[in-house]
Chain A
Amino acid sequence: MSNAVEFERVSRHFGETRAVDSVSMQVEEGHFFAMLGPSGSGKTTCLRLISGFERPESGHVKIFGQNSEAVPPNRRPVNTVFQDYALFPHLTVRDNVAYGLMVKGADKSTRHRQADEMLELVKLTGFGSRKPGMLSGGQRQRVALARALVNKPRVLLLDEPLGALDLKLREQMQEELKSIQNQLGITFIYVTHDQGEALSMADRVAVFNEGKIVQEATPREIYERPRTHFVANFVGSSNVLSPTLSVQSGGPSRWMSLRPEAIRLCDPSNSKLKGTLQNIRYLGASNRLSIRFGEEELSVSLPSTEVAPEKGVQVGLTWEEGATHVMDEDH
């Protein structure tokens, strides 16, 4: 398979701020590629480098193998679903969706037919003659999606498209987006700061921090084998064991990551580590226990069905072989 988008040591600085700092990555055609990171980590700038609203200071952004620097946004085979949808308020929903066809000169009946087909795909049949102002957040989101997809882009860029929706709607839209991507088979590049969203939808995830990609891998690998402290903390708040603690638990003298849900409580006499139960937070499906070892603290996720011990008692921790993962030490 060929690459839809490829970054070759791309940098984009805004004054002193290194928004994107020598980023290299490849997005395979047909993949659902997520760019995950906190705000200001450079992921949105990367998206804008692909859509053409930003130009790299150095390096190359290749779209289907071609250097894109000289190509303006309107001549790229990519379309964007904007964060706040950016629907045209003076046009009806149908005219919004048909806009891309209209500017390319499609006649009225063709573009209205295709727009209505797209509205059907996003389950908004019958909303064509309304104005965007009369729609709910979720419906606007769908219009924005239809408006981008009607142009049959080879790459669809999505900039935190579900950020403004409430939890229930967000989960529903995640499934729909994924199924639309499967159905159309086009490349999705998806920017988000929600790790759950990235893990559940993407084929590949690139984790951004301070303008750089710190890890790029499959969701499972990112979750189970975080390469750095940052990835471990950002993607699902994993525990990080210092080399000292790792040795105590019978591991190597290296920095290690350990998932809270991989840890079990056990009798202190045959445990890997012994610590004091510091705090318990009730999270609904589970309890989050903080356990102290001198200077360090580990969190343990305990299903709510199990009885949590009293605060302040000594507890023993154990885990399966292979639950720990050695990380790059210098991060």
Chain B
Amino acid sequence: MPQQKKPVLERRDVMAAILKDRGDTLLVTGLGSPTYDAYAAGDHPLNFYLWGAMGGAAMTGLGLALAQPKRRVLVITGDGEMLMGLGSLATIAVEKPKNLSIIVLDNQHYGETGMQPAHTGRGVDLAGMAQAAGFAAATTIDSAQQLKIWIPQFHRAPGPVFAAIKVTTHPVPMTLPPRDGTVIRHRFREALLGRKAFD
């Protein structure tokens, strides 16, 4: 098992850097911190904030990517959320959606529930699992330099792309996006589909 380095990247900086030039990218965020981080980086109607459905972020991304093959779909979620849906790595790898990237902000802990250690801090290698499942590209990122190289890949490389980005557990200011699920889905669908959202 490789020696695990202490994470240095800050989750809010990482989120902001990924979304800086997002264009018309469709974003699904996993419950907890990734949802708050995305909102802190700048609210956007094409953000589908999940506040629950733990383990479902990657598959929500797959359904969206299949429905919108011309748009890039990013799923940004946490390590605990991804661990709950590991089977979806196999399903996504088999479907090979070219327009989908799954990005895990991996702080190696369950941040929402009191910072209990997660498997990813104890040797479980999510990128290795994605690679073995058959993702087109999969990596673990732990430096700003690597992140800079990979961000364009998240947006443009033929998918499915997977990245586990190691981030610190440093506290960040609380930012709360809309919680009402009907508001989130209405806003998202209207921004994506226009009038057809209400057919």
A binds B: no
Chain B interfacial positions (CB closer than 8 Å to A): none
